[in-house]
Amino acid sequence: MIDDVLAKVDANLQASLERLFALLRIETISTDPAYAGEVRKGAEWLVADLKSMGFAASLRETPGHPIVVAHDETVKEGPHVLFYGHYDVQPVDPLELWKTPPFEPQIAKGADGSEQIVARGSADDKGQLMTFLEACRAWKAAGGLPVRVSIVLEGEEESGSDNLAAFLAANREELKADVALVCDTSMWNAETPAITVMLRGLVGEEVTVTAADRDLHSGLFGGAARNPIHVLVDALAGLHDEDGRVTLPGFYEGVPELPADVKKMWDAELGFSAEQFLGSVGLKEPAGEKGRTALEQIWSRPTCEVNGIIGGYTGAGFKTVIPAKASAKVSFRLVGDQDPAKVSAAFRAYMKGRMPADCTVEFTGHGGSGAIRLPFAGKELAAARAALTAEWGRGAVLIGGGGSIPVVGDFKRILGLDTLMIGFGLDDDRIHSPNEKYQLQSFVKGARSWARVLGALRG
């Protein structure tokens, strides 16, 4: 049976690529309101595609971008999976660094000769979510799905998932299942599949410091007038101590140490090279907390990063201005039981405490989600590992993930579901960067992997 299904995946490669390219051409940038129409177009395309393979699919409105929900109604009993992916993408700036236009997908040759699908969203997450849809299509073409399948596709993952939790809560009954499947993570390397069992949470904060009520000439006022850029950079510089630790009071509450056996696997068994990992992007030495390995830093340690800063004159040439305002976007990656609300409150209290008398500070929250840790056992996890091992010819490893996938926390909290995070991205996919790509092999073997996982979950 599974051989039949895999043969269908292989036979349909050309058509499945054409479908993926059609989806990649839609400019679904969720964080920028100017692209709202394109985001909706992406949702509509997915509804039509799911209907075309027999799902009961619908576009659901939210206060933000729509959510796509689909149910297979042909399988009436047995295990029930809820699949999640997101069809929105990151902004494309700086556009001038793209070798080909971000929304004109193409197959390009990588430096290693491999074939790559190049486009914004190819890896994060359109290419990944389509591996699951193509696996379903193959099963249906081969006679029918092996388990009950429901699907949720989000349009706001890259902009804070502001409306997903409320949507899950409002549709709790409809979305009940036995286990969730999420395809938004990476393989361990190009040959080794992985299941992600730890994910960091995320808090995003935008902060604006205001001093004078207008921009000032630094010749007339310089020296006597408060410069909000100075106030902001002083405060941001104070967020880390000399050992790279975050200075916010209570920040490390709920941060667990790794169990010894997991630390041993990461230190000695995965064959991870910090030099290679950093060297691949032109860096030499691990930053961050002293005494922590690079793998710990990206998987199991919390961070504070300034993701953007702007103030004063930033155009060509020079302008001797003391600006009225300066602002920054600051994010925190959370682990263990760190509380997003507490971290946000500690950051805001810290910034307020750094303001001189004539400065005011304002904040905009950009979402918060706690970290996830799955138990290292469970029958679905065992079934999925076996299926991945069969497809790739290598044992699937259990790893951590540095980025947050808030929906996994929401699934646990709202729907009571554990999530199998299985994805086929690679570390060099340049997600969120210019020239994002997804290996053609990830797409092909990803679809085959999901076909196997669905079969294995039937039990």
- Binders of a copy of itself among residues 191 to 210 (CB under 8 A) are 200, 202, 204, 206
Residues contacting residue 226 through CB under 8 Å, at least 6 positions apart: 211, 212, 356, 358, 359
431: left (phi over 0), alpha (psi -120 to 50) or beta: beta
Q: Between residues 265 and 294, which has the closer beta carbon with respect to a copy of itself?
A: 294
Burial 150-175 (b: 16+ CB within 10 A, else e): bbbbbbbbbbbbbbbbebbeebeeeb
Alpha carbon distance 169, 413 (integer Å):
10
| Of 54, 101, 254, 312, the one binding a copy of itself by CB under 8 A | 312
Interface with a copy of itself, residue 160, by CB under 8 A:
yes
To a copy of itself, the closest distance from the beta carbon of 49 in angstroms equals 27
| Of 3, 109, 314, 353, the one binding a copy of itself by CB under 8 A | 314
Q: How far is CA 291 from the centre of its chain?
A: 27
To a copy of itself, the closest distance from the beta carbon of 294 in angstroms equals 4
| Of 11, 174, 313, 349, the one binding a copy of itself by CB under 8 A | 313
To a copy of itself, the closest distance from the beta carbon of 95 in angstroms equals 12
Q: Between residues 101 and 312, which has the closer beta carbon with respect to a copy of itself?
A: 312
Q: Between residues 149 and 372, which has the closer beta carbon with respect to a copy of itself?
A: 372
Residue 63 to residues 169, 273, 417, 442, Cα–Cα distance (Å): 15, 44, 25, 34
| Of 255, 321, 390, 398, the one binding a copy of itself by CB under 8 A | 321
Q: Mark the segment that binds a copy of itself (CB under 8 A) among 51-59, 283-291, 384-392, 444-452.
A: 283-291
Q: Which residues sit opposite 420 in a β-bridge?
A: 181
* CA-wise closest residue to 133 among 65, 85, 80: 85
Burial 368-378 (b: 16+ CB within 10 A, else e): bbbbbebeeee
Interface with a copy of itself, residue 406, by CB under 8 A:
no
Interface with a copy of itself, residue 86, by CB under 8 A:
no
| Of 61, 93, 243, 275, the one binding a copy of itself by CB under 8 A | 93
Tokens of 26: 């839609």
Q: Mark the segment that binds a copy of itself (CB under 8 A) among 7-15, 49-57, 262-270, 401-409.
A: 401-409
Interface with a copy of itself, residue 108, by CB under 8 A:
no
| Of 77, 173, 213, 257, the one binding a copy of itself by CB under 8 A | 213
Q: Between residues 58 and 435, which has the closer beta carbon with respect to a copy of itself?
A: 435
To a copy of itself, the closest distance from the beta carbon of 313 in angstroms equals 4
Residue with tokens 């961050």: 288
Residues contacting residue 277 through CB under 8 Å, at least 6 positions apart: 294, 427
Number of residues that bind a copy of itself (CB under 8 A): 99
Q: Between residues 74 and 247, which has the closer beta carbon with respect to a copy of itself?
A: 247
Tokens of 236: 């941001």
